[in-house]
A and B are shown apart, each in its own frame.
Chain A
Amino acid sequence: MPTALDVRGLKKTYTTGGTSLEAIEQLDFSIGKGELVCIVGPSGAGKTTLLRCISGLLDATAGVVELDGTAVTEPPAGMAVVFQEYGRSLFPWLTVRQNVELPLKEKKVPRARRTELVDEALDAVGLSDSAASHPWQLSGGMQQRVAIARAIAYEPSVLLMDEPFAAVDAQTRADLEDLVRELWKRLGVTVLFVTHDIDEAVYLGERVLVLSNRPTVILEDVAIDLPDERDQLTTRSAPRFAELRAHVYELIQKAKKGERPA
């Protein structure tokens, strides 16, 4: 499997006014093309810092992040990010359609193709009827769908999702999780999904990277050997799901106590 995203020796230390704080000590991992990998960690584990480094929003102190073999120094062309704060990530002065279309215009996608991509993306997230609405006219879950539509219309080779469903209600959350699985399978996009929810990570991922607490390293890279076809009812009640869930849960508990890998 060719590598889509490669993180090697990543280290991030914040320095302000003489004091320095080590957020990420050392991270090495890679994600194959078409994989769906989840990252979980205790709160304050530097998940957001890591994601900002990968997406090129933040300069790492040391180490490299490579996307399709090219080092990331600024937000790369082949990457789309879905933020947790959907309400602050969508532009309220643009309609749903304009929000999805704006990055494509910027990429100089020809008009006909643009319309096609936007229509497909909105259809994929089930929002074809709301194209002319403004984001603030939609519910939270629907707004996050718009953000997802914007990301997939962008045709990224890697899709980063930063705790995208932390702010929506449980019911909507389950629907959106299934939407992500479905889109991932259908589009073959590589997904890196950051979450603090253990169930969500195990349910979604093919692999789960468990982070230690600060300064962050990887505690364990857990392979999720659940069947490819997943659904909320059977998968979540499968014995194997419970085992994996328990395993990740223990890891997180260890991480909270400050345990480091040997």
Chain B
Amino acid sequence: MRLLTTLAYALALPIVLVVVWWFASAGSESVFWPPLSKIVGVFGETWNADRWTGDVLPSLARLAVGYLVALVLGVLLGVLIGLHRPVRAFCEPTLEFFRAVPPPVLVPVIALFLGYTGDTSKVVTIAVGCVWPILLNTVEGVRGLDEVMLDTARCYRLSAWTRLRQVVLRGASPQIAAGARQALSIGVILMVISELFGANRGLGASIVQFQRSFAIPQMWTGIILLGILGFLLSVLFRLVEHYALAWYRGLRQADRGA
């Protein structure tokens, strides 16, 4: 029963909104706001098998590769920098500067080096854009590690490898996750933007092509698809986080209760 109520609450507004959109746009003559029925009608044919293999999946693959590269690099460098105060002091202002540069301007800069046609430049754009929040949050997390915990690890003679895995990475994981979450939304932005330069294929490129050729209902299907993908990615992220940081939620609740 409780589940049903929760479900009803969760679904009520979305259903109302879709219904309102459906009927409000039903007789729409406006070029820009086609009827929702029409948008839904062309969805299947627009995103056919060819588009999935030729555009959507390659876009997602580039995002995945770029994001993972950023994750590995960011955590690795973040730990190295975070563990040593002089190194941290040396690097931090520089890193803060690179983080503050809005990632989209990377596109023209990377275009200078690599041109902007192949996959490499796009993956590099995504990786370079995503790495800063992960890196800086990791540094912050490692810096905030508890002294007593580090002492404990030393007293019980945990090896460097175990300390890294069991103490440093686990201890910094809440901050790393926060950085990874920021990076994911930047990654999606860059996945789209990186396809808008030059003649390209991909999810973002397709949507803009629809717009340029005034295929408006198709453009709308693209916007909706991109929205759904963004939503699914965040759900996926939250699942991983939920599992990996269960202890952290419990700890916080225990702290608050005390």
Contact = CB atoms under 8 A, between A and B. Distances in A.
Interface of A: 52, 55-57, 74-75, 77, 79-81, 83, 85, 88-89, 91-94, 102-103, 106-107, 134, 136-137, 150, 154
Given A88-B149, A92-B251, A134-B247, A79 B155 contact: yes
Contacts of B127: none
Contacts of A93: 170-171, 173, 247-248
The binding surface of chain B is classed by DSSP as: helix
Contact of B157 (A52, A89, A106): A106
Interface stretch (B52-60, B79-87, B159-167): B159-167
Contacts of B146: 88
Contacts of B251: 92, 134, 136
B242 interface: no
Given A102-B158, A102-B166, A106-B159, A89 B250 contact: no
B157 A103 contact: yes
B8 interface: no
Given A55-B155, A103-B157, A137 B250 contact: yes
B254 interface: yes
A112 B162 CA distance: 21
Nearest to B146: A88
A206 B158 CA distance: 32
Given A136-B254, A137-B250, A83 B152 contact: yes
A92 B152 CA distance: 13
B209 to A, nearest CB: 48
Given A93-B170, A93-B247, A102-B166, A88 B155 contact: no
Given A57-B151, A83-B151, A92 B247 contact: yes
A244 to B, nearest CB: 31
Contacts of B254: 136-137
B156 interface: yes
B156 A103 contact: yes
A89 B158 CA distance: 14
B7 interface: no
B144 to A, nearest CB: 12
B221 to A, nearest CB: 43
Contacts of B255: 136
A83 to B, nearest CB: 5
Interface string B5-18: 00000000000000
28 contacts: A52-B151, A55-B155, A57-B155, A74-B154, A75-B156, A77-B157, A80-B156, A81-B151, A81-B155, A83-B151, A88-B149, A89-B148, A89-B149, A89-B151, A89-B152, A91-B149, A91-B166, A91-B167, A92-B247, A92-B248, A93-B170, A93-B247, A102-B158, A103-B157, A106-B158, A137-B250, A150-B156, A154-B156
A154 B149 CA distance: 17
A162 to B, nearest CB: 10
Q: Which of B146, B147, B171 has the most CB of A within 10 A?
A: B146
Contacts of B156: 75, 80, 102-103, 106, 150, 154
B240 to A, nearest CB: 15
Top 8 A-B pairs ranked by shortest CB distance? A103-B156, A88-B148, A136-B254, A93-B247, A81-B155, A136-B251, A88-B146, A89-B152
